[in-house]
Structure 1
């Protein structure tokens, strides 16, 4: 664990509240490795899609308590990553209340049935706007605000974004994930450009591109596979013959935050069980 030792570091993790999610799992792992955590979540569903699953205020408070029980400091930040003023305030709170900002994990994002999963020709405009905003704009606002704070502090830092295997050419076809794929492709390009801009300041910026991960967020898609009898075929297309787990993605994020990844920047690491090679 030496290359991942994070004692004395402060991390901002967005999309942190939902139980079993990649954001929450990442926040808990970084705390296990010694970091103090600013736990950020919008903690409410979007107005146009009230049934869309998100973390709750109770889950956010529960996460803070769980991190504090590990002996680390934590604060709950309720903020919308698509709102620049709220994101800037979240970064300022992190620096003031926890003393610094060394690690930024921009985990917030999502898509769903009734909120972005649909053929592009029939996709409604509010869903398009939300998917692009929360996945791409929110990542930019978060990473940019964190990057400014890190540059001002002059100590370097790490920024990790969440892309998706959906962003990669040839992985979609007729899945109804077109807007999500476009947003996550933008995240990869955004990450590469941020890495180029922030590298001279000692700030590494990388992305993780997960495949199908067994979280609450992906449950509707996996249930659709079951209803359509496609589960065996989908799992059969993955060389490791299983879906991934949130802990496996969090471990990659933690690696990118640690000293072992000090010479990696501008990369997008595929974590797809071999479904996407290269």
Structure 2
């Protein structure tokens, strides 16, 4: 069993700065830990530099981890990571590595695919409780990629590296080809549960990051679920995106945070999922 070590953790981004670039529609809503149309800012979702590999490792070391079987805690997990070719518009090439830590895998995938490592950490916990209660099955299905609610998981994508990489790849796919996917910025009819008889309502999605979360987990919490965010849920409760918001807030502060306020180029805060291009090197 791995127990947390005491550390000083840097204070979360100030609330005033976090709200400066929040869309007016989100600010106008009553105070709530979950706003269905604006679950996370683009900057919080897409910033690949939010944590270094060392910071991720420290974060994993600080979790209280009690494995369900003989599996290691994520802080101690290592594996041989396969090479990945360039995936045009989605992820940069990744070389193979031997005996690589989970923290390094998360950091490298985040950088290659322009996704925040915080998002990947929350996803690992949301899908399989991998940070606090790891298991062999959890490592196989780490991010829930290719594991639909209505069918068995596709075993071709099993394995920790595959799951982390494919989830990040999928988030980039939603981002670079938003018109190809069901949920887009704007008005969307979103169900409360996989069972369509549980109903749905129209949600105005305000940014690409929130659209990505709904394309990955296509349900919103109903009123009963919001009233009991820690459960027990009813027959029409779906906690996925609510749990994402709650976990992110508990670990990293408000998911609506942005790093820069005022009049800045949109690329500086990953507006719509795209950062600023690298400067062209000067010719000698």
TM above 0.5, yes or no, is no
- Say which one has the larger Rg: 2
Q: Which has the higher strand share?
A: 1
TM-score, length basis structure 1: 0.28
Q: Which has the higher helix share?
A: 1
Higher relative contact order (CA 8 A, sep 6+): 2
TM-score, length basis structure 2: 0.27
